[in-house]
Structure 1
Amino acid sequence: MCGIVGAIASRNVVPVLVDGLKRLEYRGYDSAGVAVLDGETVRRVRRVGRVAEMEGAAAAESLAGQVGIGHTRWATHGGVTEPNAHPHISFGELAVVHNGIIENHEVQRERLKGLGYTFESQTDTEVIAHLVHHYFKASGDLFGAVRQATAELHGAYAIGVIAQARPDELITARMGCPLLIGLGDGENFIASDVSAILSATRKVIFLEEGDVARLTRDAVEILDGKGLPAERAVHQSDVSLASLELGPYDHYMQKEIHEQPKALADTIEAVLELGFDAALFGESAAQRLAEVEGVQILACGTSYYAGLTAKYWIEAMTGLPCNVEIASEYRYRDAWAHPKHLIVTISQSGETLDTMEALKYARSLGHEHALSICNVRESAIPRASDLVFYTRAGAEIGVASTKAFTTQLVALFTLAATLAKLRGRLSLEREAALLEELRALPGSVQHALNLEPQIHAWAQAFAAKHNALFLGRGLHYPIALEGALKLKEITYIHAEAYPAGELKHGPLALVDEAMPVVVIAPNDALLEKVKSNMQEVRARGGELFVFADADSHFTDSEGVHVIRTPRHVGILSPIVHAIPVQLLAYHAALARGTDVDKPRNLAKSVTVE
């Protein structure tokens, strides 16, 4: 959720911090701030609102320093106010930035008040600043003080610490929240996301759970959770700065919707080369996947809807049972576990806290095999999994997921086909046919994108609405769910999705002339059933907006508006039908004047509960 960037160098790091915070804006935030060591003092600038406002204030105050930390805050403890914004300072001598939630902050707050510390904010983060200061004052060892303080914190955190008495050090630590170190030439960096430091370096170290690190200009020292020296691998990031720029587009969401043909082609490339081969999932995948007796999918939000789609594919193609659960619910219930059921976690960032914790819980129950589907290499969830399939969507900046969703669907379809092949349920002829369908998929998605002018016209009608229903059946019910979510996320129109067959079991009571009803109606085996459900809506005065295939034989009529996507593409149809609902939400949001890329109250990477 929040974003961290820090730097220690022989140059003024304020431009690096500000640039990094701008690149972290997509994660969601409500305030921003930076703190630097300027000579022997800690100087800080914070502002509620956008990074640009804080940048202007920093320039007005001629803020400069060779060691500094920056932060974009998404409010959890305490309101959206400048005193609650990060960095937090203790006694004017030490500054801290923090992502995560400290669960025992109230106990620590009372303890620190007893030690003479005064609190200026409502945040849990200020507890960290004072606790580190308490130990630093006693020992004079900033590295050791951070280690002592973090040992007493319960919850999740990624932190950066600087102190006026240690102008040649930047200390960082992580537990449950993502944090990495960037290695430069005579300068080093910390960040919660590699995008924040790409302008300075591509060499990164991903910190592990419990790691505490000391950065100087020329060296990095890491201790693990037991206090032992730790060697962490250095990775070369392949994220390009160009992928983080808008280019000719008005919004990142627009850019990412239109990048889907390429993202899908890139993700499919290895599948077309190898076929549905277990090697796509890792060196040990053949043996592990051959032992699978069922599948348990854990995910949140849009990734959860991808999992729901996969359930249809997996059970139909493999004959294996498949259960899909919201990760934040699974981790808190007494779940039944089968050691031969494959745990599949889905996360765009690979750092989604609820999904990571659900994976840990599944492991504790005895699940032997875990596979992650992720878009970010070397992130936490893939590192904690036996097998991994990396989608190749590229950087996704918009909060509302688009290309990550469709590439996740490709990954899940590949898993279903691979499991079917391992179980002798996929003939060579059928495999060849499915691979050909995958090969044609980017073109079909491009055809769907070409419908944008028609969808734009629909969106004008949606902009004035306060509610909407989305209907789908079978494989396309999860696409209805995804369409409703997209509309909610970026237009703030209340939208719900139902299996079309459930209309008479309650939702039909909501239908009247003011309720637009979006229908996903591909030319599949359930088409006639969907048509009957549409008649139920029209009989109650509801206005229908139908996404149909070119060969579905729908026609416009009073109260029935039809847009035809390309010909029915068979088993991969949900991926194609995801495109129109994304475009509908995007253009309805533009018509309503909402912030498409940064919808209110939401963050891109959900790394707290």
Structure 2
Amino acid sequence: MCGIVGAIAGRDVVPVLIEGLKRLEYRGYDSAGIAVLDGQDVRRVRRTGRVSEMEAAAQAEGISAVIGIGHTRWATHGGVTEANAHPHISYGELAVVHNGIIENHDEQRERLKAAGYTFESQTDTEVIAHLIHHYQSQGADLLMAVQQAVRELIGAYAIAVVSKREPGRLIAARVGCPLLVGLGEGENFIASDVSAIIQATRKVIFLEEGDTAEVTREQVRVFDAHNGLVQRDIHVSDVSLASLELGPYRHFMQKEIHEQPRAIADTIEAVMGANAFVPELFGASAGEVLREVEGVQIIACGTSYYAGLTARYWIEAISGLPCSVEIASEYRYRKVVANPKQLVVTISQSGETLDTMEALKYAKSLGHDKTLSICNVPESAIPRASRLVYYTRAGAEIGVASTKAFTTQLVALFTLAVTLAKLQGRLSPEHEAEHLDALRRLPGSVQHALNLEPQIIGWAERFAPKQHALFLGRGVHYPIALEGALKLKEISYIHAEAYPAGELKHGPLALVDSAMPVVVIAPNDSLLEKVKSNMQEVRARGGELFVFADDDSQFGSSDGVHVIRAPRHVGVLSPVVHAIPVQLLAYHAALARGTDVDKPRNLAKSVTVE
């Protein structure tokens, strides 16, 4: 949510800033801007709308510079206006970009107004610019002014600052929001996401909580929360430029849906290599941690929460351990009865989801030291704060609506369920072999589901004029119905709800009529006959059914009942396969409605604010 890029070099950095902002578009934003030091002036260009509009304005003004910062903003404080867009400038001397939310901005605003500062925006960020300028005006250099200012901020922030008083350096700082430094030859960079600078360097330093960084062309110095000089590890990013390009696809979402066979195969590679479910898959110390587990608490948001709901069925059925799943933003604000023998599992695609990170901190403060992160981004904040980690190897996910991150999370959680079962003595060698075989076959089964796309396109055209839809599932497939409804409303803007099919007669049936399409997840499992009964309830009220079934399900299409069959039932991993058609339905319905598939309105990819 929001994006930062900065650069200092011996060349014009404006193209670097603009290219970086374009690569951050996937995070979600509604305005963009850059500020550079051009001789003795701070020059700024801001526009609401897309980065391309700001780029055109920058080109028209002929802006070039060897140092600058850029930002894509997702509105929080103040509306979507050019005045609220970043960067924000104080007295024409100092420019700031900021991700996050400053909770005490009203108090600081009044203090700064009393000191003579005037405000041009409604944002909390302008407070930061004036506060830093205030300390600079009292004699502090830029580094010290930033360090003094951030001590007075309450909330979450990642900031980058340039000042015409000190045109040879960038200053960056972070608390609660991700920020990294990129290392080049005679040039250095800052960014909120490695994708913003991958065209310039792969060598990065991930700033830690409370860090401040001084960045010049020649060096980078990092200071900890106590302003002590520290050494942070240098990492070489494995993000590829190819993963950030569309290739032959129309949208990143389409590309990422079709990358799922490979993403799943990569995610299970370690399991297949070991040919066993071993605790070391989750870290060197995982054996001693997982053997003592008496239950599992899963904490996540959005799509990751639905992955957790699916995992609850697997964990309880396979390992026999009790499992609860909670939305992170709820968990972190209630009084929790802690059980230190629970394994706390946090799930986050980005590893930077603020609510999930704060929920993990809260769990640890209650005495939970058995913590596991399931994440797609190495070295991100949540894995670093967790004792154990399982990285999903989905590769960069650009589309806001998560697809391959979701299915690889499911695979990781299934691996956890079976590993726990083995450590509990509940897994026979025969069952372990069966589960290994199911995982081994899964990429092929997902590819078979992708081959249903032409049939799903026909369905999507029928969905395009609809305003509402209902999704039904039972048992382990109910969370897949939830995920299908979420995908449809995220990118097509069709209002969609999901219910356990058995709950239909307890209220939702009142919504069913000929204008309300009802999507049913109906694999050939032990609950199929129950699902068929629920489908009859829909047909009796004139509802039109769209059923995702298996090849061996004993029913077919009829008047008002449309059926698409997966080639075969894949048993316990069926939820992974049935996630594919609901993703495709949402994608093609959005195409038919002409919405912005990769950047849906009001949404952001990496949610680093409350």
TM-score, with normalisation over the residues of structure 1? 1.00
Determine the C-alpha separation between the residues in 1 that align with 2:199 and 2:549. Answer: 45
For 1:368 and 1:64, locate their aligned partners in 2 and report how far apart those are by CA, in whole Å: 51
1:250 and 2:235 correspond: no
User: Matched residues in 1 for 2:430 and 2:474: separation?
Assistant: 28
**1:209 corresponding residue in structure 2:** 209
> What residue in structure 1 maps to residue 265 of structure 2?
265
How far residue 140 of structure 1 moved from its aligned partner, in angstroms, is 4.0
| Structure 2 SS opposite 1:166 | coil
Hey, what does 2:81 align to over in structure 1? Answer: 81
Tell me the amino acid that sits aligned with residue 348 of structure 2: S
Deviations 1:393-435 (A, max 9, x none): 0000000000000000000000000000111111111111111
Deviation of 1:230 (Å): 1.4
Give CA deviations for 1:424-453 in whole Å, capped at 9, x if unaligned. 111111111111110100000000000000
- After superposing on structure 2, the runs of 4+ consecutive aligned residues of structure 1 that deviate more than 3 Å are none
| Aligned match of 2:472 | 471
> In the alignment, which residue of structure 1 is the partner of 2:225?
225
Superposed, which structure 2 residues align to 1:63-462 within 5 Å? 63-274=63-274, 275-462=276-463
Query: How far 1:137 moved relative to its partner?
Result: 1.2
Q: Deviations over 1:240-292 (max 9, x none)?
A: 00000000000000000000000001101111111211110000000000010
Q: Measure the CA separation in 1 of the matches of 2:432 and 2:98.
A: 49
1:481-522 Cα offsets, whole Å, 9 max, x none, are 000000010011100000000011100010011110000000
Which amino acid letter does the alignment assign opposite residue 235 of structure 1?
H
CA deviations on 1:86-128 (whole Å, 9 max, x unpaired) are 0000000000000000000000000000111110000000000
Q: Secondary structure at the match of 2:525?
A: coil
| CA displacement 1:57-100 (0-9 Å, x = unmatched) | 00010111111000000000000000000000000000000000
For structure 2, the residue ranges without an aligned partner over 5 or more in a row are none
Contact 2:94 2:133 in 1 (8 A): yes
Which position in structure 1 is the counterpart of 2:539? 538
The whole-number CA distance in structure 1 between the counterparts of 2:575 and 2:568 is 13
Supply the AA of the counterpart residue of 2:168: D
**1:30 and 2:63 aligned:** no
- Deviation of 1:549 after TM superposition, in Å, equals 0.3
Distance 2:245 2:219 in 1: 31
Task: Judge conservation of contact 2:472–2:499 (CA < 8 Å) in 1.
Answer: yes
**Alignment partners' CA distance in 2, 1:433 and 1:321:** 23
The count of residues paired between Structure 1 and Structure 2 equals 609
CA distance in 1, matches of 2:168, 2:427: 61
Amino acid at match of 2:545: L
8 Å Cα contact 2:369-2:387 kept in structure 1: no
Residue identity opposite 2:572 in structure 1: I
| Counterpart code for 1:514 | A
Q: 1:357 is aligned with what amino acid?
A: E
- Secondary structure at the counterpart of residue 337 of structure 1: coil
List per-residue Cα deviations over 1:373-400 (Å, max 9, x = no partner).
0000000000000000000000000000
Task: Please say if residues 20 and 196 of structure 2, whose CA atoms lie closer than 8 Å, have aligned partners that are also in contact.
Answer: yes
Deviations for 1:347-379, whole angstroms, at most 9, x for unmatched residues?
Answer: 000000000000000001111210000000000
CA separation in 1, counterparts of 2:109 and 2:558? 65
Greater Cα offset, 226-235 or 148-157: 226-235
Q: Distance in 2 between matches of 1:190 and 1:41?
A: 21
Which letter maps to 2:219? A
Alignment check: 8 A CA contact 2:195 2:239 kept:
yes
- Residue type of the partner of 1:576? V
Letter in 1 for 2:91: F
Q: Percent of counterpart pairs with the same letter?
A: 79
Structure 1 unaligned regions, length at least 5: none
Work out the CA distance in 2 between the residues paired with 1:531 and 1:346.
33
1:40 Cα deviation after fit:
1.4
SS in 1 for 2:127: helix
Structure 1, 256-265 or 269-278: larger mean CA deviation? 269-278
Q: CA deviation at 1:566?
A: 2.0
SS in 1 for 2:167: strand
Cα distance in 1 for residues equivalent to 2:163 and 2:362: 38
Q: Which amino acid aligns with 1:201?
A: T
1:18 equivalent in structure 2: 18
After superposition, the CA RMSD in angstroms is 0.5
Q: Distance in 2 between matches of 1:451 and 1:183?
A: 45
Question: Are residue 39 (structure 1) and residue 13 (structure 2) matched?
Answer: no
- Give secondary structure in 1 for the equivalent of 2:420: helix
Q: What secondary structure does 1:600 align onto?
A: coil
Which whole-Å CA distance do the structure 2 matches of 1:461 and 1:395 have between them? 32
Report deviation, 1:229.
Answer: 1.3
SS in structure 1 opposite 2:268? helix
**Cα shift at 1:228:** 1.2
For 1:337 and 1:273, the matched residues in 2 are separated by 36
Q: Please list the CA deviations of residues 559-582 of structure 1 after superposition, one character each: whole Å capped at 9, or x if unmatched.
A: 000000121100000000000000
Task: Report the counterpart of residue 583 of structure 1 in structure 2.
Answer: 584
Paired residue for 2:559? 558
Give distance in 2, aligned partners of 1:368 and 1:69.
39
Counterpart secondary structure, 1:501 = helix
Aligned equivalents of 2:436, 2:347: Cα separation in 1: 23
* Distance of 1:34 and 1:227 partners within structure 2: 28
Alignment partner, residue 574 of structure 2: 573
Asked whether the equivalents of residues 491 and 597 of structure 2 are also in contact (C-alpha less than 8 Å), the reply is yes
CA contact (8 A) 2:158 2:179 kept: yes
TM-score, scaled relative to structure 2? 1.00
Deviations 1:454-497 (A, max 9, x none): 00000001001000000000000000000000001001110000
Structure 1 residue 226 displacement after superposition: 1.2
Q: What amino acid maps onto 2:517 in structure 1?
A: P
Which secondary structure state, in structure 1, belongs to the residue aligned with residue 5 of structure 2? strand
Report deviation, 1:49: 0.4
**DSSP 3-state at the match of 1:332:** coil
Counterpart Cα distance in 2 of 1:154 and 1:565:
52
Counterparts of 1:437 and 1:363, CA distance in 2: 35
Contact 2:26 2:599 in 1 (8 A): yes
